Structure formats: C-alpha cells, structure tokens
Amino acid sequence: MEQARALVTPAGDVCVRCGTELSVFDGDGTYRDSLCRKCAGKRMSMDVAASSDADAPLLGGIGARAIALCIDWTLLAIAITITMLGSVAVMSVLGLKESGAIMVTLLTIAVGVAAVYYTQIKMVVDSGATPGKKIMKLRIVTENGNPVTRRVALSRLFWSSLSTSISYLGHFVAFFDSKRRALHDRMAGTLVIKAPAH
C-alpha cells in the first residue's frame, strides 16, 4: 500500500484549517498537509489505520529505552543536586539552621516536581520525547499514531512512577509484549517508536 503523503512545511507557517502556528512534531516528524497537530490528528489516525505492516513505524528498542530512562534520571538527579548544594551554600552564608533545612527541602521538592513536569509532561506533549528519548532518537505516540496529549502524558507518568516504584517490574513487561510496551505504555495507550530521520 502507498505510504501516507507528508509535506514538509517551513517553520513559522500556520495551520490551513485553524490558523494555529505549526509545531515541530506531527507524529512522523513532518507537517502533514500544512495542518497543526490537533487538525492533523484525525488524518493521522486514518493514515495509521490504512497503512500496512510494512508502513508501520519501527518500535523503539528496549535497550535504547533503558538508556533513555537512565539519561532522564541522571538529568533529574543533577538538577536536584545542584539545587540542594546551592541551597545549602546560601543557608550557610546566611547562617540559617532549622528554617534553612526546611527551605532546602521545599526548594528541592519544588525543583524536582518542576523538572519532572517539564521533561515528562511538557516535552512529551510538545515534541513527543523526554530528553533521554530525544538523545536516543525515540518518540512517544498514542497507539493509533497520534501525538501524546497532556492527559495521556499525565497517565503515562503516573503508571511509569508505579512501574518504577515496584522494583522496575512494570518496565519488564516490555520484554513480553509484541509492541514492546511497558506497563505504563499499556495503561496509557502509548507506543515508543524510533524517531523518523529528518
């Protein structure tokens, strides 16, 4: 079957249907007939359903996903460590003790939550990938090929946290799934695919 036609549109263009500025990710790394992600969603669903197995996106490898997860956790640890060290330095300069410890704790939690939100929700919705997945050239899409919505990203983060908290057992589900979906992918309805070359 003929592959779905996709047109590359220069950055800064707007959707021909709704006038929204086009983003950089439309499921396959290109702009589809000058439509924004929202307007192209229905079109992508039809394209994915109509495509043959040969046209299906390549699934992300388990090894690449594991490396991406390690990169994400390392970046989070670096952000939290810098925050803690900076807070402790400020606390010692100002001579704060008990109230300083509370400040360090609250600031560290705030930075951790902000970093997780930015990398696991905002980046996934905007570009389809966490920093680790970008480096490993992977993308997260819904099972029907659409870009991930905020609701799906939140669901995936919740289930991913659960997968990780039970000794990473939820991640091992990917070894036994034909689509290499971990527990959080199955529950959120997502797939991790290889990002198309530009």
- Mean local confidence (pLDDT), 188-193: 94
| Residue-level pLDDT at 26 | 43
The Cα 120–Cα 29 span in angstroms is 19
| Residue-level pLDDT at 171 | 86
| Residue-level pLDDT at 156 | 95
pTM: predicted TM-score of the whole model, two decimal places? 0.66
List 193's β-bridge partners, or say none: 59, 139
Tell me the residue length of the chain: 198
| Residue-level pLDDT at 96 | 78
Q: Point out the least confidently predicted range of 85-89, 145-149, 154-158.
A: 85-89
Q: Is 120 exposed, middle or buried (0-12, 13-18, 19+ CB in 10 A)?
A: buried
Contact 156, 188 (CB under 8 A): yes
Q: At what angle do helices 98-117 and 62-94 cross, to 10 degrees?
A: 150
